[in-house]
Amino acid sequence: MDDRLKFALKKEALKIRIGILEQLKALGFGHAGGSLSIADTLAVLYGAVMDADAADPDRADRDKLVCSKGHAGPAVYAALANKGYFRYEELKTLNQPGTNLPSHCDRNKTRGIDMTTGSLGQGTSLACGMAMGGKLLGYKSRIFLIVGDGEQNEGQVWEAAMFASAKKLSNMVWLIDDNKKQLDGPTAEILPVGDLRAKFETFGFDAVRINGNDVEAIYNAVRKEKQDRDKPRAVILDTIKGCGVKEIEQTGSNHSLSVPQAKWDSWLKQLRSELDAMETGGGRVC
C-alpha cells in the first residue's frame, strides 16, 4: 500500500468515527463500542476495495456488504453517508420517528444497505445465499460479511460456515470483529470462542488473523488477489471495542452507552482535532 492510500484510508476511518458519534449524540445513546471497532474495516471496504457506486446502488453485480452484527448500523451509515449514498445530515436522525436509519441495518429503509440484519447469526446465512446466487449468475463480485465475536456463540454461524466451505464460496470474505467483548461482558467469560483462526481453518476456510484497526493490514487481507479460488476467506480482526476514543475503549461495558451531551461533545472535539491534525502527519491507530 502506498503512503497516499494509507493516509486516505486512515482519514476515512476517522471520519466514520466522527459520523458514528454524531448519530449517537443526536440520539443520546447507542451502540458505540462495536460500531467504533469496525470503522477501519469499513473505511477500507468502501474506500479502496468494494466495487460499489453510490450513483448506482442497486447494480446487480456490485460487491455487497452484510453487517450481520446489525447493531453496528451507525458505523455502516457513517460510511455510506461519507460516500454520498444519502445526505450526511440524515445521520442525526438515527433511530428517531420517520428516520431512514433504524437502530439495526434495514435494506428497505436505507439507501446502500445490501441486507437487513440484526438477529445475530442470521446475517451469515443470508450472506451465503447472496454469494451462492452470485456464483450461479456468473458474477465476479464478492460478498463481505462482518460478524461479531460474541455472535460466534450462535449455532447458525457455524452452519453457515459449513455451507460456505462445502459450496466453495470463494467469492465470500468473512470479517470477524474480535473485539473481546459482547453485550454482557468479555467473550472469554460469557462463552469462550477459542482460536477463531484454527476453527475457521478446520471448517475449510482460508483464514488469517490481523490487527483489525490497521487499515494497511485490512487492505492486504481482503484484496481479491489474496482470495483462494476454492475457499471462502476468513479474516479475524483483532480489534479494540470502542477504538478511537480512549475513554470509550477503557469503559468496561461499552456495548451501548448513554452519556450526557457534554460527553459526546468532548469525544467529538477530540476526533475533529485529530482529523485537523492529520494534514500534518498526526492521527492515531488503535
> What 3-state class would DSSP assign to 206?
strand
Checking if the pLDDT of 132 tops 80, the result is: yes
What number is the average pLDDT over the span 254-270?
96
Across all residues in the chain, what is the average pLDDT? 95
Q: Residue for cell digits 452507552?
A: 257
pLDDT of amino acid 282: 54
- The answer to whether 271 and 18 are in contact (CB under 8 A) is yes
What number is the average pLDDT over the span 93-107?
96
pLDDT of amino acid 198: 98
pLDDT grade for 254, boundaries at 50, 70 and 90: very high
pLDDT grade for 134, boundaries at 50, 70 and 90: very high
pLDDT of amino acid 226: 75
- The answer to whether 128 and 163 are in contact (CB under 8 A) is yes
User: How much of the chain, in percent, has pLDDT values that exceed 90?
Assistant: 93
pLDDT grade for 207, boundaries at 50, 70 and 90: very high
Report the C-alpha gap between 223 and 171 in whole angstroms. 12
pLDDT of amino acid 154: 96
CA atoms within 13 A on the CB side of 21: 26
Alpha-carbon dihedral angle through residues 218, 34, 87, 111, given to the nearest 10 degrees:
80
Checking if the pLDDT of 286 tops 80, the result is: no
Residue 98 phi/psi, 5° resolution? 80, 5
pLDDT of amino acid 284: 55
Checking if the pLDDT of 229 tops 90, the result is: no
Q: How many CB atoms lie within 10 A of CB 191?
A: 11
pLDDT of amino acid 85: 98
What number is the average pLDDT over the span 49-72?
97
pLDDT of amino acid 280: 78
User: How much of the chain, in percent, has pLDDT values that exceed 70?
Assistant: 98
pLDDT grade for 142, boundaries at 50, 70 and 90: very high
